[in-house]
Amino acid sequence: MATRQFGVSTHLYHHQRLAREHLLEIAAHGFDTVVVCATRTHFDYHSQTAVADLQQWLAEAGLSLYGIHAPVGERYERGRFDLPLSLASADPDRRRRAVVEAEYALHVARRIEAQVLVAHLGLPRSQPLEPGGEGRVSARRSIEELLPTAAPLGVRIVIEVIQNELSRAPSLVHFVEQDLEGSDVGICLDLGHAHLDGDLLDAIDMVSEHLVLTEVHDNRGRADDHLVPFDGTIDWPAALTSVQKVGYDAAFIFELAGNGPPKETLRSARKARDKMERLLTP
């Protein structure tokens, strides 16, 4: 049986420019792979030099690039995104800009193999989804425009469960099955976001047929804290049992907040990974 992959999102370092040392830190704490956040203040995915550097750093660290997180803002500063980019924007110019930036992010896979592009439909919780019925229509158009770029690169688009009406677990299942019928688009189940939205076990069961990627972090049921698993109120034994029952065998990506020294967060994440592995062992 293949060893299950555990990775780290570079969201841990989102507040600063991604550097070689960050990837070496991730590898030193026993992780196998990364998802890189495509935000230009963090990783300038427009720059071929930055992409070449990333390729070299990954090789030096012995990490694979599991995926790229599509841009959701022009900048990430003081824990929030400025100048948001929304694939579900009702404004045609804003929507098109978000698509163009996501296409630039996909171009990273021309040089470095990646499995997925993680996309948000609409904006993060701090930036409410634009009202009106155009959100779903705009989102469908955006994903359909990205598919011809992603497919030849071997990258699968996965839509993340986030806290807005378009991106709750049942909404995403309907979107994938009805709006994108016949496409190869999957769902990224963010366990922390699903926990905030209600019954996490229901969400796991609901998305199971389309589940391609699982992001792990914890919270106390009130705010999107991005804590290390077991530091919040998620029932991890029950959640991981449910994930196993639906046949999920792909990577678990730790998407953690950079509130303290990253090395301390990674040490805690390594302990959490060990607990998760024990819970996932038949």
pLDDT value at 130 more than 60: no
Each residue of 24-44: b (16+ CB within 10 Å) or e?
Answer: ebbbebebbbbbbbbbbbbbb
Decide: helix, strand or coil at residue 81: strand
b/e 248-281 (16+ beta carbons within 10 angstroms → b):
beebbbbbbbbeeebeebbebbbebbeebeeeee
Q: Which of 162, 172, 165 is nearest to 195 (CA)?
A: 162
pLDDT at residue 132, as a whole number: 47
Distance between CA atoms of 205 and 266, rounded to whole angstroms?
29
Question: pTM of the prediction?
Answer: 0.95
Given this model, what pLDDT does residue 133 score?
42
Residue for token pair 């998305």: 207
Cβ distance 43 to 70 under 8 Å? no
**71-75, 95-99, 213-217: range with lowest mean pLDDT:** 71-75
Backbone dihedral angles phi then psi of residue 266, each to the nearest 5 degrees = -70, -35
Note the pLDDT tens digit of each residue in 134-169. 589 999 999 999 999 999 999 999 999 998 889 999
Whether residue 83 has pLDDT greater than 90 = no
pLDDT at 1: 42
Task: Summarize pLDDT for 106-128 with one digit per residue, the tens.
Answer: 999 999 999 999 999 987 555 54
Nearest to 189 by CA among 169, 170, 219: 169
Q: Say if residue 7 is exposed, middle or buried (CB neighbours under 10 Å; 0-12, 13-18, 19+).
A: buried
- In the chain, the amino acid numbered 274 is D
Tell me how far apart the terminal alpha carbons of the chain are, to the nearest angstrom: 12
Q: Is the pLDDT of residue 181 over 50?
A: yes
Q: Which two tokens stand for residue 81?
A: 């995104």
At 29, list the tokens: 């704490």
CA 174 to chain centre: 20
Instruction: Give the pLDDT confidence score for residue 24 in this predicted structure.
Output: 98
The full DSSP string for 82-146 is: EEE--TT-SSHHHHHHHHHHHHHHHGGGGTS--SEEEE-SS--TTSPPPPSTHHHHHHHHHHHHH
CATH 3.20.20.150 fits 6-280, yes or no: yes
Question: In this structure, what DSSP letter does residue 30 have?
Answer: T
